[in-house]
Structure 1
């Protein structure tokens, strides 16, 4: 956002994702295997000692969380927009490749300054459209909608929620990492990373410059898919629509968001009795107290930008629902936002928010 606002030569260097953890022969990710297991502990399914081990093993070193959560999604989209070097989105934090990207970025920023290449030369309308396309193909975090709109505002590029909806309906879901799937960021890296995914999407990309000195279509042409189970082809997607859906209706006349790639097919149509809470904390207490039953719809209101204030992240209640074994039988609706690790029938960003008289 700052780069778009002040428009001085900039290159983004992200930290990179963490390696997966290991416990009893299974790979672990931080959100699913640390946050969500708290519910299993509350139910008595695991001991406190096991909980402590999982918390430690799920976070084995440096880097962002291991799935397609918010930090990793934004790192990938930064690469797609052309503001970081090719490979930057997925290279592991502790890898030699990450160190090379850092070194190369230091060299490249000098060239950008000498050539007077500015962020707004890179972050044009086409860059944002491609970022949305890749976001949909990745099944990225719902937070990306907030972030892309905010960055576009600073870059003086007009984006709308309707554009996300339009591109989402046209772009297939090709990569299914955690939280919705079982693959990790390391799997995407080994399968070809963002250049591999761009190669798959190259015919629908908008050609434009990047900080690397190559155009986005040049990068896409050089990309290679090494594992078609991780990066699906256009002929064999996980879903014909993108991973994020824009919803409207009587509860959200101005729009709401759901990560549909993390919602099982059997609960995409859901009917239940509403349980209404006026803040996150009360909802979490009720979930852990066993007051939420099958076929309930948890409504958490007054958590929007004004009502919160600050539009807090509803990771605690969504993780509690999963941990308590309710993810296939309970839905959640909020005017707050979600963690990139949220999964299940969870609808957020309800607009207008409750504090502004929303339904």
Structure 2
């Protein structure tokens, strides 16, 4: 029989015994009871910020994740870090902060995990650089955990049709060319982003969110559920339960993020016409996981992968359309049918990619 994993493998050194009374006293001051500290301590990290829609739903989603952790016998602790919106900062000095924020987010998650001796982690991610940062942090720590995408924004409605932020960027060009009035441009910008969620097309956020499902570190089928979709509450609760299951099984990120898993992530991006930012982010995740990967791998994999997702910005559809069509499980099924995936790659659920696609 396999040795049972110690679900308090880190936290018992932080809070157990008479000599840790002061640490427990601090925790009591913010609402944790003695019984809470006898359970596994699970970090729920997110990048909520009041400056953009991409991560705006994360505090509410974190509450659902924490609910699931409690139901499964753990004690969740919420931590927060920063995020930078590429969509807002592009064309300004602020864009220089974007890629650097990936490293800062990963470092912040790492430091909190070490500083509070967490036993496991859920990293909730949303806008572009937060997604690879979450995977990088978990791989670096090799701490039992999962990455959970907070979801895509719904399309807006303008002049009788669905519109996204892509239409606003194109509207700026049309306005400059004299083909769109001030009034119509203003109406378009007011309509395009109706609420919380990351950019709706297969830009960096949705590319990386779906890729992490194919990498196995995010639960498959959750990324395409929109940020404001009522089902997202259930996704959060189930994610909380899942991380406790991952902890009990003693599964660590580097058990999941293998060479085959990273190749699956690249295949996902290529098959949906995703962002070429997969290159710089997958290389960074691979480095943290100790997996060899270079630029030539992207060319080789892309050359062998068919484009089967008709997704914006190159195609017609947005992430929520993909969800209605069957989401990432259907995409995995189609790629497996074509012999394009490593079907035996394991995921955080305890099932392989092939097993998930079959259900």
What interval of TM-score do these two structures reach, taking the shorter chain for normalisation? 0.5 to 0.7
Counterpart in 2 of 1:274? none
Alignment of 1:155 onto 2:286: no
* 1:47 lines up with 2:181 in the alignment: yes
Q: Tell me the residue number matched to 1:179.
A: 313
User: Normalising by the residue count of structure 2, what TM-score does the alignment of the two structures yield?
Assistant: 0.60
In 1: Cα distance, 2:285 partner to 2:220 partner? 20
1:12 aligns with 2:154: no
Aligned to 1:218: 355
Deviation at 1:163, TM superposition (A): 1.0
- Asked if the contact 1:85/1:101 (under 8 Å) is kept, the reply is no
- Give the TM-score taking structure 1 as reference length: 0.60
Structure that is richer in helix per residue? 2
Work out whether residues 77 and 89 of structure 1, in 8 Å CA contact, stay in contact via their aligned partners in 2. Answer: no
Q: What residue number does 1:321 align with?
A: none
**Does the aligned pair in 1 maintain the 2:208–2:278 contact within 8 Å?**
yes
Q: How many residues align?
A: 221
User: What per-residue deviation string (whole Å, max 9, x for no partner) do you get for residues 186-205 of structure 1?
Assistant: 11111111100000011332
Q: RMSD value over aligned CA atoms?
A: 1.0
Superposition deviation, residue 96 in structure 1: 2.3
Q: Is the 8 A contact 1:75 1:88 kept in 2?
A: no
Summarize the alignment of residues 285-296 of structure 1 with structure 2, pairs less than 5 Å apart: none
1:180-219 map, 5 Å: 180-202=314-336, 203-206=339-342, 207-219=344-356
User: What is the SS of the residue equivalent to 1:13?
Assistant: strand
Structure 1 stretch 92-101 or stretch 171-180: which is displaced more? 92-101
Residue 22 of structure 1: aligned partner: 157
- Deviation for aligned residue 1:16: 0.6
**Aligned-partner Cα distance in 1 for 2:286–2:307:** 24
Query: Does residue 126 of the first structure (1) align with residue 260 of the second (2)?
Result: yes
Write the distance in 2 (CA, Å) between the matches of 1:118 and 1:56.
Answer: 44
CA distance in 2, matches of 1:118, 1:194: 23
For 1:159 and 1:74, locate their aligned partners in 2 and report how far apart those are by CA, in whole Å.
Answer: 17
Structure 1 moving runs of 4+ over 6 Å: none
1:38-65 superposed Cα distances (whole Å, 9 cap, x missing partner): 1211222112121111112110111011
8 Å CA contact 1:124–1:157 kept in 2: the answer is yes
User: Gapped runs of 5+ residues in structure 1?
Assistant: 223-359
- Taking the aligned partners of 1:174 and 1:204, their CA distance within structure 2 comes to 12
Q: Quick check: 1:106 aligned with 2:243? A: no
Q: Which runs of 5+ in 2 are unaligned?
A: 1-135
Q: 1:78, 1:129 → 2: CA distance?
A: 11
Give 1:80 deviation, angstroms: 0.8
Identify the residue that residue 214 of structure 2 maps to in structure 1.
80
1:15: Cα distance to partner? 1.1
SS in 1 for 2:296: helix
1:221-250 Cα shifts (integer Å, max 9, x gaps) = 12xxxxxxxxxxxxxxxxxxxxxxxxxxxx
Q: Secondary structure at the match of 1:36?
A: helix
Residue among 226, 247, 252 paired with 1:92: 226
Report SS of the residue matched to 2:146. Answer: coil
Counterpart Cα distance in 2 of 1:106 and 1:166:
37
Could you say which residue in structure 2 is the equivalent of 1:260?
A: none
Q: Report if aligned partners of 2:305, 2:340 keep a CA contact under 8 Å in 1.
A: no
Q: Is contact 2:150–2:223 with CA below 8 Å preserved after alignment? A: no
Is the CA contact 1:70–1:143 (under 8 Å) kept in the aligned structure 2?
A: yes
SS in 1 for 2:162: strand
The SS at the match of 1:171 is: coil
Give the secondary structure class of the aligned counterpart of 1:117.
coil
Report the equivalent of 2:300.
166
